[in-house]
Amino acid sequence: MFGVDVKVEAERVHDSQDALRVLDVSKRFPGGFTAVDNISFGVGNETLALLGPNGAGKTTTFNMIRGNIGPSEGDIKVCGKSIAYNQADARLGLGVTPQFTAVDSQLTVKEHLMIYGSLKACDIPLGIHGKVLKQNVDLLMEATALTKYADRLATKLSGGNGRKLSLALSLIGNPRVLLIDEYSTGVDAATKRAMWKTLRRVSHGKAVVITTHSMEEAAALSSRIGILAKRMLAIGTLETLTSRFSTYEVQFAARTPLDAAHASALMSRLPGVRQAKDLGTRYEVPIGKTPLAELFRTLSDQEVDDGESDNGIRLDYSVERMGLESVFLKVIQERDDPYA
């Protein structure tokens, strides 16, 4: 089931002009442990969300893109410059928002941006200085909704505003490529949505790669999604990934073993139905084999041919198209068990 989209992406990126290109990259550590196994992808004017279980190689991939560690094989190019062979120039096009916000306890928001801007200017030919630097800092604070906190100590910011400061720091020098690690982890829902709005605003026209454990965040922010577990298992838009499975999910509110048996007998009337491995009362119904009207007719009647009279059981149920979380779990499950 998997592989075609990954192969197409690998072929595409070699001939592309994407701002970020990861080309046949593998990473093996001493002892023979392979953290990343021959992945290829490119990111242009878009946001790519990298999803994967713990230990999938996301952090290793980020560290290789940043130049913190070198690949065992392959190359990574930022704005056409090789991280492996021309790291200093490649890094000029790169901004990084790490998972944990690192700030100085004695500096305000504006002081952080001014100091980081001055340091960045040392690396940029015809860099930003003085009045121009101040103007850039003011624009960054405005873009990230931090202007009213300019004179506040960075350590006194809320979690969400601390992440915005980290994002603003990564934007100094107007890098073409942004790496953002777990952007909104640990903040409340309202703050999270405000942060998403900020990121959409400042990332326009940039190549952005985000890692997240939130399927909601990936769906809200990304143009494309890559599912990584040492190898790239799947890559594409949310629509292409969900349509590939073409599955309805039916969830029953079964409270007793008799309820569960009734649900199983009911769903056995439909062709190609599979019981989900993660939950005994959730079923996957292939869209191509069962018209939606027939599915609802079966669920509404709730009559089963079990050789007995009607047992009177009527179960509540929900039906929805397979979402990103279910796609992710299915991809990982089939990686672990190709015959699942």
All domains of the chain, ordered by start, with CATH?
Answer: 1-93+175-236 (3.40.50.300), 102-172 (no CATH), 244-336 (3.30.70)
Rounded Cα distance between 208 and 79, Å, is: 13
Map residue 214 onto helix, strand or coil: coil
Tokens of 17: 């002009």
- Cα torsion 106, 109, 114, 116 to 10°: value is 80
Binning pLDDT at 50, 70 and 90, where does residue 45 land?
Answer: very high
Specify the pLDDT at position 7: 94
pLDDT for 155 equals: 95
pLDDT tens digits for range 197-235: 999 999 999 999 999 999 999 999 999 999 999 999 999
Q: What is the pLDDT of residue 235?
A: 96
Per-residue model confidence as pLDDT tens digits over 258-306:
888 889 988 998 998 988 876 678 898 888 788 888 889 888 887 655 4
Is the CB of residue 211 less than 8 Å from the CB of residue 48? no
Q: Would residue 57 be called left, alpha or beta, if left means φ above 0 and alpha means ψ between -120 and 50 degrees?
A: left
Task: Give the mean pLDDT of 76-92.
Answer: 94
Which has more confidence, 136 or 288? Answer: 136
- The pLDDT confidence band at residue 250, using thresholds 50, 70 and 90, is very high
Residue found under tokens 């624009």: 139
What's 6's DSSP letter? H
Give the least confident one: 13-27, 108-122, 191-205: 108-122
Q: Please, where are the H alpha helices in the chain?
A: 4-14, 58-66, 87-92, 109-123, 130-143, 159-171, 189-202, 215-221, 238-245, 257-267, 292-301, 324-336
* Cα–Cα distance measured from residue 63 to residue 50, given in angstroms and rounded to the nearest whole number: 14
**Per-residue pLDDT band at 310 (split at 50, 70, 90):** very low
**pLDDT for the residue 292:** 85
- Which carries the bigger pLDDT value, residue 129 or residue 24? 24
Q: pLDDT value at position 282?
A: 87
As a whole number, mean pLDDT of residues 89-115 equals: 93
pLDDT for position 308: 46
Mean pLDDT over each residue of the chain, to the nearest integer: 88
